[in-house]
Structure 1
């Protein structure tokens, strides 16, 4: 039973401390792709802590679960975990964690459903604003141009992903600026950033009081934009994509003194115009490897008693 409690405590500590530790360094803005990987590993580690804690609690509470979990294990390994010593508490903890897992699945399902509803609504609006030509199938074209007075461009994910751009954006963006905006949106599509947003949104909405999930959602929204900016800047230059962002958003009051929903844009433009040096390849490799070890920690905690018994 102590293994289950240790995993629960480890997950709780990581939930509180991880956002504070990851918010201190400045390297995530310099390496957003690595930062995305680090955040995913941290959240995976937290979820793994809770999942393993639920498994060991259920094994301690019910003989049927114990028989399945420890079916191939020697008798000495089962005794090393001291299962069955606190069955009532174990049952309560297992049920609570199982409810949390079911709630997480429900939130993710709801998030995906809402995203699909939004996509269908936007596709319907697109068909109204830009009717199909005779013989043309919905979503058959990877690029759609809509009449619009506001310059804008966005990627519409789905089974038939489509890049949408307004006529105002075509008139305003000059040459390579348009190519850079398209590369930015393609960067989102190739990295499947929509799934990161769905997962982070589901966790944050389902467990708003858990700091790591709220921070995960906020950082995903910020880091995916920085990563897509870097994709475009590597192909067309930082100045080009920075000017394109200004052209697309200068009429929205983004760059004024009052905060707006797009308040990240000035920071993105400043980051592009005054880039900080990238981390060395060795530093990036060390960060990536260290992050990959985070989900291993709860596995080590879970297997320590069994390994000691076998040793």
Structure 2
């Protein structure tokens, strides 16, 4: 049972400390794609800690679970985990962690159902506002142009993602600035950022008091926009992308003296116009590799008694 407690403690510490460490780092805005990867690895490590703690607690509480879990293992490995002591709290801990896992699955299922319902509603609205021409099939073409007085560009996720642009946006944005907006939305679609947003929302809604999940949702919404901005800037340039963002959103009151504090769009424009130097390829590689090793820590903790017994 010591392994379960260590894993539970490790997961709790990571859930509290990791968001603070990442919030103090100065590189995520410079490398949003790497930051997205790091956040995913941290959350995966936290979830893995709790899942393994549940597994070992269940093995300590119930003989049948222990028999299935350690069926191929030699007796000295089973003895190394000291799972035979009869105590009531391993069953309680396993039940609580299992309930948390079921609740996580329910929140994710609800988020997916909600996303699919919103997607169907948006597709129905598109059919009303942009009816199909004779011989045209639903989903034909990656671009949909809608009549609208407000400049807008968005992407509709799905098996065949579609870019939705209003005529006002086409009138206001010309040439490479329109290319910048389209490249930004295509960056979202190609990276499937919708899945990151759904998973982070499900965890944050299911466990609002867990710091790492709340921070995960906030950072996903911010970092996916920065990553898409970088996709557009690599195609048409940072200045052009910044001007496109300003022109597309200038009627929404996010620029000027009445800008609310902490507004993301002005910060994104400033980031494009006055970019910080990117990290070196070597440092990006080290960060990526180090993040990939984070989920391995709970596995190492879980296998330490077995390795000692066999060694």
Shorter-normalised TM range: over 0.9
How many Å separate the matches in 1 of 2:59 and 2:67?
8
Q: Which residue of 1 aligns with 2:196?
A: 196
Q: Which residue of 2 aligns with 1:310?
A: 310
Q: Secondary structure at the match of 1:277?
A: coil
How many Å separate the matches in 2 of 1:253 and 1:159?
34
How many Å separate the matches in 2 of 1:66 and 1:182?
55
Given that residues 254 and 262 in structure 1 are in contact (C-alpha distance below 8 angstroms), is that contact kept between their aligned partners in structure 2?
A: no
| TM-score w.r.t. length of structure 2 | 0.98
Q: Deviations over 1:259-309 (max 9, x none)?
A: 559920000000000000000000001111110110011111100011000
Deviation at 1:123, TM superposition (A): 1.1
Q: Cα RMSD (Å) of the superposition? A: 1.2
| TM-score w.r.t. length of structure 1 | 0.98
How many Å separate the matches in 2 of 1:302 and 1:203?
24
How many Å separate the matches in 2 of 1:259 and 1:293?
41
Q: Which residue of 2 aligns with 1:54?
A: 54
Q: Secondary structure at the match of 1:255?
A: coil
Aligned length: 311
Determine if the alignment matches structure 1 residue 116 to structure 2 residue 130: no
How many Å separate the matches in 2 of 1:240 and 1:259?
22
Deviation at 1:99, TM superposition (A): 0.6
Deviation at 1:159, TM superposition (A): 2.2
Q: Deviations over 1:184-239 (max 9, x none)?
A: 11111111100000000000000000000000000000000000000110110001
Q: Deviations over 1:106-135 (max 9, x none)?
A: 000100111111111111111111111111
Going from structure 1 to structure 2, the CA distance change for 1:24 and 1:280 (only over 3 Å counts) comes to: same
Q: Which residue of 1 aligns with 2:186?
A: 186
How many Å separate the matches in 1 of 2:170 and 2:82?
68
Going from structure 1 to structure 2, the CA distance change for 1:217 and 1:86 (only over 3 Å counts) comes to: farther
How many Å separate the matches in 2 of 1:159 and 1:260?
36
Following TM superposition, the consecutive aligned residue runs of length 4 or more in structure 1 with deviations greater than 6 angstroms are none
Determine if the alignment matches structure 1 residue 88 to structure 2 residue 88: yes
**Stretch moving more, 166-175 or 116-125:** 116-125
Going from structure 1 to structure 2, the CA distance change for 1:260 and 1:153 (only over 3 Å counts) comes to: farther
Going from structure 1 to structure 2, the CA distance change for 1:222 and 1:163 (only over 3 Å counts) comes to: same
Q: Secondary structure at the match of 2:278?
A: coil
Q: Which residue of 1 aligns with 2:99?
A: 99
Q: Which residue of 1 aligns with 2:70?
A: 70
